[in-house]
Structure 1
Amino acid sequence: MKLVSKTALGIVLALGSVSIAALPAQAQKKPKEEKAAPLKLSKEFREAAGPIDKVYKAQDWPGTMAAIDAAEPAAKTPEEIYTLNQYRLDVGTKTQNTAAQEKAITAMLGTGLLPAADVGKYHFFAGKFASDRKDYAKAETEYAAAAAANYATTDLYLSQAKIYADTGKYPQVLTTLEKAIQAEEATGKKAPEDWYKFGFGQAYKGKLNSEVTRWTMMHVKAYPSAENWRTALVLFRDSQNPADKPLIDLYRLMLATDSLAGEKDHYEYAFLASRAGLPGEAKLVLDHLKASKSPGTSPDVNELHKEVTAKVAGDRASLAAEEKSAAGAANGVSASGVANAYLGYGDYAKAVTLYELALQKGGVDADEVNTRLGIALARQGQKDAAKAAFAKVQGAPRAGIAQYWTAWLDKTA
């Protein structure tokens, strides 16, 4: 992925043509009532540098560079070093000589004569050249100096992120990449999708599970396609390895976001639902598969569909009695179980009532019940109540699942 924009690659943005008298403004600054002092260039330097201007004006770039190199031993003071390296930088830019450009920039920074407004920019280019040479330690140092000099640009942040990625510093990648996104948004632009993909890819590579969740969530909020939802939820599943019950709730979100893909996803979801005693939900998922563009045709899919279909009528008929029994139970376990069934059948109103009863009676996994209460409320369109339920979910991996559901709510009409 290409992180750095083309504008970051043109050192010519920093400089135009120069002459031997072109010292920076701050080197000449005097009180307003005083005239600027003449440049302090020694006789030795003036004599050594004399041939430069003639070949420069003739646009003889090899000759100019040779004259610069010949005069270098005579450049002793900061003013002389700066003046000489203005020429070197300009000619190096015109001839695309990156070694000369880097040498000039480093020398000019060392003089302390650069205008304050240019210091960060020069450190940035010094870092860029070092990065191109794979001198990552120097590049990191130069980029940090650019940031310290208030060179706050997306190109700097992206360049830093690339260096950190190349050196395996994953937390720093994410910190600087997020700064790039914020800087881009501050200009009224939307950050490119590749930046988000790079972020969660680095988080996954660095085994930063909480950051995988956060960055994939940022991605789907910015670019909420079914494909991106699938990527986010699959990465979360693979990084968190949730048990069956929370995995069902993750699959429920894949169904809601239309990000179940093909026979494998549908079969795994339906199998888990069937094993959890939810034949109605298992049948709904397999019916969804059969109505899709790529209906399942494997014997396993057909067998499971036949099995759960045979159970639905009896299961649904038993719910009224189970609901009544749950109301008189000493704890909320039965109420939660019946609520799960109603949720699977799409009877969200009854599911909400029973989940709330389960929480009131206690003796249940509050994170599980609040997750599913939030799902039932979300599926009814009760956004605020659903978000309140999801906000109560604390433990991993359910807290992440609840956050994804909340992100989905934020994007629904």
Structure 2
Amino acid sequence: MQAAQELIKAQRFKEALAKIRDADAVGGKTANENYLIERMRMAAASGAGDVETAAHSFEAVSSRIGSADKLRMIESLAGSYYRARDYSKAMQWGQRYFKEGGTSGTIRTLLIQSQYLAGDFAGAARELTTEIQQAEKAGSAPGEDRLKLLVNASLKMNDTNGYVWALERLVTYYPKREYWVDLLSRLQRKPNFSDRLALDTYRLSLATGSMNAANDYMEMTQLALQAGFPAEAKQVLDKGFATNVLGTGPEAERHKRLRDLVAKRLDEDKKNQAETLTQAQEAKDGTALVNAGMNLVFNGDKAKGLQLMQQGVAKGGFKRADDVKLHLAIAQLTAGDSAKAQSTLRTVAGNDGTADLARLWSLYAKRRS
């Protein structure tokens, strides 16, 4: 055994294993001698990359090892199996580590990655969700890599709810354009998502910086004009031209014609503003007041615009009250009052995509507070 120990120190592990086998072949050994042989065999096998032998030796002596040493050895075995790309065994030893009372974040990561690579996507998702929730409870941002791994695990399982749950946290903590594009695209593909929410979806896309196609700028501009918001249409076009998304390429003349139309509509809107407000005040329900107020917010008269919208809300009689709440929240956010916007968004219901869209606006509003 002394020779084996010297060989281990010299990192001649395979030779050490041979010496240990010779010692083990001797009969009449005491329990303590067997214990020492297995401890030394485990060290030599670990160094030689023979993980199975190391694991077998650990099992032979584990009942006599203190908790701290036991955790250290289990950690070593889990890491060895992972490096050997035996992810199922790495997963098993990682789980055992935590059952024995381990708390290492490194082994938690190794366990999750082993589960994912072994095809246990449900297990990986479960561990990741717990880790993310614990981080949020502690007031910390979950790691972007953890959220992306949960996105991928959910995708492997065709778990749409899990995918969206992780993606919503990505846009909350790491609001990159590609995450918003994915999230908004998935929202619009939902079977119950109403076409009438297209303008409100474009508004969020523009606000989050996830809109960069000329056709999207053009369509949003046209929808804003149709809805009676020429000032908003001008803002959309101005941004498109400023970023060179519009005004270039084979459709440049079409872009300029639309800009001329928007300017004309905006001029007409300003001339008719007093009459429009009078008609809105006289209307039976509050729809016209809400629209007139929102138009004023886009025109820059935010205080008066929000006041008119509140008057319209109080008047009531709406065909779609949740749409009105959503628009009020967007106006409040445009006016710079994120807290009120979040409060309003929490009241938005509806099963046609309105509530789903309001939740995404809430995620954006939180970043503005």
> What TM-score results when the alignment is normalised by the length of structure 1?
0.70
Partners of 1:190 and 1:208 lie apart in 2 by 23
Partners of 1:310 and 1:205 lie apart in 2 by 52
Find the partner of 1:380 among 325, 335, 358.
335
Matched, 1:266 2:217: yes
What runs of 5+ residues in structure 2 fail to find an aligned partner? none
Partners of 2:64 and 2:268 lie apart in 1 by 86
Aligned pair in 2 of structure 1 residues 53, 170: CA closer, same or farther (>3 Å)?
Answer: closer
Query: Is contact 2:230–2:266 with CA below 8 Å preserved after alignment?
Result: yes
Find the partner of 1:108 among 58, 63, 66.
58
Give 1:108 deviation, angstroms.
1.0
Partners of 2:120 and 2:51 lie apart in 1 by 28
Matched, 1:289 2:232: no
Find the partner of 1:410 among 349, 363, 366.
366
Query: Is contact 1:339–1:351 with CA below 8 Å preserved after alignment?
Result: yes
Query: Is contact 1:390–1:402 with CA below 8 Å preserved after alignment?
Result: yes
Find the partner of 1:196 among 119, 135, 147.
147
Partners of 2:3 and 2:338 lie apart in 1 by 76
Paired residues for 1:315-330 under 5 Å: 315-330=269-284
Task: Identify the range of structure 1 (365-374 vs 203-212) with the bigger mean alpha-carbon deviation.
Answer: 203-212
Partners of 1:149 and 1:304 lie apart in 2 by 68
Paired residues for 1:294-333 under 5 Å: 294-297=245-248, 298-299=250-251, 300-333=254-287
Partners of 1:348 and 1:78 lie apart in 2 by 85
1:66 alignment partner in structure 2: 18
Partners of 2:266 and 2:36 lie apart in 1 by 86
Matched, 1:353 2:307: yes
Partners of 1:401 and 1:203 lie apart in 2 by 21
Give 1:64 deviation, angstroms.
0.8
Partners of 1:196 and 1:219 lie apart in 2 by 7
Matched, 1:249 2:200: yes
Partners of 1:216 and 1:268 lie apart in 2 by 26
Aligned pair in 2 of structure 1 residues 173, 349: CA closer, same or farther (>3 Å)?
Answer: farther
1:285 is aligned with what amino acid?
V
Query: Is contact 2:180–2:208 with CA below 8 Å preserved after alignment?
Result: no
2:180 is aligned with what amino acid?
L
1:270 is aligned with what amino acid?
T
> What TM-score results when the alignment is normalised by the length of structure 2?
0.77
Find the partner of 2:44 among 91, 104, 114.
91
Query: Is contact 1:52–1:67 with CA below 8 Å preserved after alignment?
Result: yes
Query: Is contact 1:322–1:338 with CA below 8 Å preserved after alignment?
Result: yes
Give 1:144 deviation, angstroms.
2.1
Partners of 2:108 and 2:144 lie apart in 1 by 16
1:390 is aligned with what amino acid?
L
Query: Is contact 1:131–1:163 with CA below 8 Å preserved after alignment?
Result: yes
1:21 alignment partner in structure 2: none
Partners of 1:194 and 1:261 lie apart in 2 by 26
Find the partner of 1:363 among 313, 318, 336.
318
Find the partner of 1:393 among 341, 348, 361.
348
Give 1:370 deviation, angstroms.
1.8
Partners of 2:152 and 2:301 lie apart in 1 by 38
Kindly provide the CA deviation profile for residues 34-61 of structure 1, in whole angstroms up to 9, marking residues without a partner as x.
xxxxxxxxxxxxxxx5753464466543
1:410 is aligned with what amino acid?
K
Partners of 1:285 and 1:115 lie apart in 2 by 68
Aligned pair in 2 of structure 1 residues 378, 171: CA closer, same or farther (>3 Å)?
Answer: farther
Secondary structure class of the residue paired with 2:261: helix
Give 1:343 deviation, angstroms.
4.6
Aligned pair in 2 of structure 1 residues 145, 408: CA closer, same or farther (>3 Å)?
Answer: same
Partners of 2:246 and 2:25 lie apart in 1 by 78
What runs of 5+ residues in structure 1 fail to find an aligned partner? 1-48
Partners of 1:133 and 1:280 lie apart in 2 by 63
1:7 alignment partner in structure 2: none
Secondary structure class of the residue paired with 2:20: helix
Query: Is contact 2:294–2:328 with CA below 8 Å preserved after alignment?
Result: no
Query: Is contact 1:109–1:119 with CA below 8 Å preserved after alignment?
Result: no
Find the partner of 1:158 among 103, 109, 126.
109
1:246 is aligned with what amino acid?
L
Give 1:289 deviation, angstroms.
1.1
Aligned pair in 2 of structure 1 residues 178, 78: CA closer, same or farther (>3 Å)?
Answer: farther
Q: How many pairs align?
A: 358
Partners of 2:227 and 2:342 lie apart in 1 by 26
Q: CA RMSD in A?
A: 3.8
Secondary structure class of the residue paired with 1:314: helix
